[in-house]
Amino acid sequence: MPQTIIQSLPFPDIQPVDTLYVTIENAVREGSGMRDRLLKTGIIGTVLAALCCFTPVLVILLGTLGLSAIAGYLDYVLFPALLMFLGMTGYALWRRQKTG
């Protein structure tokens, strides 16, 4: 029955509700790719933020580009970014452990 209703609509690319439900159900079942991507993003972001926070890499880079005036404000951006990426990594590890 949903097929006939959808076919009569002027928008042929709209999926029936039962097909959409199956698609969402498959996405939930195959969520490990999302967890892995979240974990990779968290780890890479944590490493980059820590590298820029605790070493003079970013200050040297900004100095060579002539933007050393921005170096005084880096702490206002880098420490919250580091905390956000640490939180993202912790959340991804928690989700991985929870779904086991």
Query: For position 77, what pLDDT does the model report?
Result: 92
**Are 46 and 67 in a shared domain?**
yes
Residues 65 and 93 in one domain: yes
What's the pLDDT tens digit per position in 33-90? 777 899 999 999 999 999 988 889 899 999 999 999 998 899 899 999 999 999 999 9
* pTM recorded for the entire structure: 0.63
Note whether 44 and 58 are same-domain residues. yes
One domain for residues 5 and 53: no
Instruction: Give CA angle at 42 (25, 26), nearest 5°.
Output: 10
What string of DSSP letters covers 15-75?
A: PPHHHHHHHHHHHHHTTHHHHHHHHHHHHHHHHHHHHHHHSTHHHHHHHHTT-GGGGGGHH
State how many domains the chain has: 2
Task: Judge if 20 and 37 occupy the same domain.
Answer: no
Q: Are residues 14 and 48 in the same domain?
A: no
CA distance 19 to 33: 22
Q: Does 38 lie in the same domain as 26?
A: no
Picking from 44, 13, 16, 35, the residue whose alpha carbon sits closest to that of residue 100 is 35
Question: Residue 12: which pLDDT band, with cuts at 50, 70 and 90?
Answer: low
Residues 64 and 100 in one domain: yes
pLDDT attached to residue 17: 53
Residue 24 has pLDDT above 60, yes or no: no
